[in-house]
């Protein structure tokens, strides 16, 4: 595999940073959308650990770190998408062998592929969306076959602008186009055709049939709504979240009345976690909203330091550290309430959620450990951050390498 390399370009954001606290009190809405106070979070203490037993030897390891996308590992149909400083590559999960890499393609021109790809589609239609720059003023979006890297289509977005591929699902890609201002462009994944544009807002994610955008831009070097973040703060003294119909770009709901300053930070299924504050920077909170309607599902507040870390598996669970570092605050998408779980050793930072397991850093300079969803430690110190579980294969990443193990010996 190719070596690991540089960071994504920084995105300049104006305004001041003020903290968002995250903790353990939950507010649930009734069906009428009228608010009612939830009971205090339950504390999970029972149950045996969900064991995570690995084979004695790794299935494979890369010579250097192979996954640098801040959204975490992307894998589908037995293939793993990797991004390094030099190339986008597709790797076989079971063997670690590279199927193809953009560094070796001969596509009739020499595009500079940029490091914000997404896996989309299934089976024979599985593809890799990438941004590219053929010339200084000819950037674009391309769909490459995940099987062999062949170009399915290329869509040029004219102008001397920068592009950032922020989100993609099976039908739609959201691209931030950065020129004199910022605009969100929605592109049809099947054809590369532009569906609609929305000026003056940054794209953050797709959920509940909505494209989520905000006038509060991403913090520098935080490139997307990914699977883990230590940046649960809003930036600046203004910023409004808006949900646009994914197919048409028409506004469906806005958070301006309730949240004068708002910025999406994580997605879990059809739930979006939004960092909010009032216009003066007070009443900071991490609010969980139903993406389809904007309905408030829960509010996490009061018990977390300014540099709170949170992580999600992207579909079922969102978890955050608490101020005392002796518990984890968890929100499960299919059981919408907040609960806390005690942990044996203080957790400084939540790094990832994969399967039934949560990887965390134990202390500011401490080792990495793994706990299950009840807070139980699940074995010996892991070989790195557990990024994903694909069938009976567990994929880890350390400071030096990406490594895969067979689960169960």
CA distance 299 to 285: 7
* Residue 10 domain-assigned (yes or no): no
CA distance 240 to 35: 22
- Model pLDDT, residue 47: 58
CA distance 247 to 83: 29
HEC assignment per residue over 183-206: EEEEEECCCCCEEEEEECCEEEEE
In this structure, is the dihedral angle defined by the CA atoms of residues 216, 228, 185 and 138, taken in order, positive or negative?
A: positive
- Model pLDDT, residue 343: 84
- The vertex-320 CA angle with 315 and 324, nearest 5°, equals 165
Q: Are the CB atoms for 319 and 327 separated by under 8 Å? A: no
* Residue 302 domain-assigned (yes or no): yes
CA distance 141 to 129: 7
Neighbours of 364 (CB within 10 A): 9
188 Cβ partners below 8 Å, 6+ apart? 171, 172, 194, 195
Record the tokens describing residue 332, joined without a space: 């499960």
Measured CA distances, 28 to 25, 148, 358 (Å): 10, 48, 25
Per the structure, the complete domain to which residue 142 belongs is given by 17-406
Q: What is the pTM of this model?
A: 0.80
Instruction: Please count the structural domains in the chain.
Output: 1
* Residue 6 domain-assigned (yes or no): no
The list of the chain residues with pLDDT below 70 reads: 1-49, 68-72, 85, 104-115, 136, 217-238, 281, 301-307, 409
Q: 157: helix, coil or strand?
A: coil
Residue 68 sits in a domain whose CATH number is 2.130.10
* Residue 141 domain-assigned (yes or no): yes
Residue 385 belongs to what H/E stretch?
strand 385-390
Neighbours of 16 (CB within 10 A): 10
In the Cβ-directed half-sphere of 195, how many Cα atoms lie within 13 Å? 21
* Residue 1 domain-assigned (yes or no): no
């Amino acid at each position: 595999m190719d070596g690991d390399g540089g960071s994504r370009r920084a995105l300049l954001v104006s305004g001041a940073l003020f903290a968002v606290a995250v903790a353990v009190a939950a507010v649930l809405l009734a069906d009428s959308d009228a608010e009612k106070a939830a009971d205090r979070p339950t504390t999970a203490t029972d149950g045996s650990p969900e064991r995570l037993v690995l084979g004695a030897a790794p299935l494979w390891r890369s010579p250097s770190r192979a996954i640098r996308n801040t959204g975490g590992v992307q894998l589908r149909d037995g293939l793993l998408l990797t991004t390094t400083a030099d190339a986008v590559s597709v790797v076989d999960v079971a063997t670690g062998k590279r199927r193809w890499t953009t560094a070796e393609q001969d596509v009739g021109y020499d595009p500079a592929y940029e490091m914000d790809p997404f896996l989309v589609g299934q089976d024979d239609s599985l593809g890799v969306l990438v941004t590219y720059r053929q010339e200084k003023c000819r950037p674009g979006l391309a769909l490459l076959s995940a099987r062999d890297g062949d170009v399915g289509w290329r869509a040029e977005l004219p102008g001397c602008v920068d592009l950032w591929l922020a989100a993609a699902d099976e039908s739609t890609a959201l691209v931030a186009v950065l020129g004199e201002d910022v605009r969100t462009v929605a592109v049809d994944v099947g054809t590369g055709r532009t569906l609609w544009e929305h000026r003056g807002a940054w794209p953050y994610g797709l959920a509940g049939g909505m494209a989520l955008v905000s006038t509060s831009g991403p913090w520098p070097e935080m490139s997307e709504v990914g699977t883990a973040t230590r940046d649960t703060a809003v930036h600046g003294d203004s910023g409004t979240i808006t949900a646009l119909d994914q197919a048409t770009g028409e506004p469906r709901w806005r958070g301006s009345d309730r949240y004068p300053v708002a910025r999406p930070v994580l997605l879990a299924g059809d739930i979006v976690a939004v960092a909010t504050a009032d216009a003066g920077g007070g009443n900071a909170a991490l609010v969980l909203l139903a993406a389809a309607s904007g309905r408030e599902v829960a509010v996490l507040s009061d018990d977390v330091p300014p540099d709170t870390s949170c992580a999600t598996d992207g579909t079922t669970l969102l978890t955050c550290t608490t101020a005392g570092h002796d518990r984890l605050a968890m929100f499960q998408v299919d059981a919408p309430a907040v609960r806390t779980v005690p942990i044996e050793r203080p957790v400084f930072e939540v790094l990832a959620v994969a399967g039934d397991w949560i990887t965390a850093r134990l202390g500011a300079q401490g080792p990495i450990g793994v706990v299950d969803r009840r807070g139980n430690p699940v074995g010996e110190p892991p070989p790195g951050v557990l990024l994903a579980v694909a069938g009976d294969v567990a994929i880890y990443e350390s400071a030096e390498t990406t490594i895969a193990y067979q689960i169960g010996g």
